[in-house]
Amino acid sequence: MVSALPVAAPAPNLDTQSSQTYQLTGQALFAVKTLLPPLWILLVVFIFAVAGSGRADQVVSVDAAAGLITVQAKSGLKSYRLKPFTEVTINGRQGSLDVLKAGMECTISLADPSTASKITAIGNVAPGAALKPLKPGPIAPAGAVNGTRKITIRANIDGSDVFKIQDGKLWIEHHSWQKPVKVNVNGIPWLPQWTENRSDEFVAFNPPLAPIVDAAIVLRKGAGRGAVEMVEPATAKNNYTYSFKVDDGGAGGADNYEVRLSW
């Protein structure tokens, strides 16, 4: 009896497989080419939305008459048009264009690429500036003593400076080397304006400072290589002015300081 010889499987057609592979690759490339334009469009829209939703800048100038605000952004100076509908919020309160000052940090929301719809700023304001609560707050009980009772000051200091607090105001008297820079009070950036060696007054406490008359003020240093010490307590003799000194000593250059007060 003769055995049946096994039948060999037909050899694969390499030309057919290569053709199918090229066809699949071509389809994938076509899909990528088809999807790329929409993906780029979505990316551009996303970037514009992020940029338009708010950008942290620093106010350089405000010209209400010309309807223009100029800010210092990371990429350079930028100007935006101001319109009657442009909202202004300063330190969490409703403000106006005339209260905005150079040096304030701001976030600008855009109605279009060149028009500001909302300006949210933080920084020191002039005494007596008209700021209104965004929402009516609760009425404090009669006789209650309210107000800010903690101050945190951060600054880059070279040399020595005396900080003074009186009647809800804070200012600096500069003594030696370079004047303080990168000053921040309770999270609010402050660009002091100087008359010789005395700064203007910082009054942007929200809520306003609680009275320091007869208060036991605790002074602590949170950061900095030099000494921080009280110079004079608030007494009737000095019209209730509390003073403390930051002395960077003889070390070269400046250092970053953090000082905390509470009462």
- Burial (Cβ within 10 Å: 0-12, 13-18, ≥19) of residue 45: exposed
**What are the tens digits of pLDDT across the range 74-84?**
889 999 999 88
d(CA 170, CA 163): 7
154 plus 53 within the same structural domain: no
In a domain, 22, yes or no: no
The label of the residue with tokens 């990168």 reads 182
Q: Which residue has the higher pLDDT, 139 or 119?
A: 119
Q: How many domains does the chain have?
A: 2
Q: Which residue has the higher pLDDT, 209 or 3?
A: 209
**Number of residues that this document lists for the chain:** 263
- Burial (Cβ within 10 Å: 0-12, 13-18, ≥19) of residue 114: exposed
In a domain, 58, yes or no: yes
d(CA 88, CA 125): 13
Query: Is the confidence at residue 194, as pLDDT, over 80?
Result: yes
Query: Is the confidence at residue 262, as pLDDT, over 80?
Result: yes
112 plus 169 within the same structural domain: no
d(CA 216, CA 88): 37
Q: What is the pLDDT of residue 162?
A: 98
For the question of whether the overall pTM of this predicted structure is more than 0.75, the answer is: no
In a domain, 26, yes or no: no
* Residue span of the structural domain in which 255 resides: 150-262
**What are the tens digits of pLDDT across the range 83-106?**
887 889 888 888 888 888 888 899
In a domain, 111, yes or no: yes
167 plus 88 within the same structural domain: no
Lowest mean pLDDT among 4-13, 47-56, 235-244, 252-261: 47-56
In a domain, 13, yes or no: no
Closest C-alpha to 107, from 89, 96, 119, 95: 119
Query: Is the confidence at residue 166, as pLDDT, over 50?
Result: yes
In a domain, 90, yes or no: yes
User: Tell me, what CATH number does 102's domain have?
Assistant: 2.40.50.320
247 plus 177 within the same structural domain: yes
Query: Is the confidence at residue 115, as pLDDT, over 50?
Result: yes
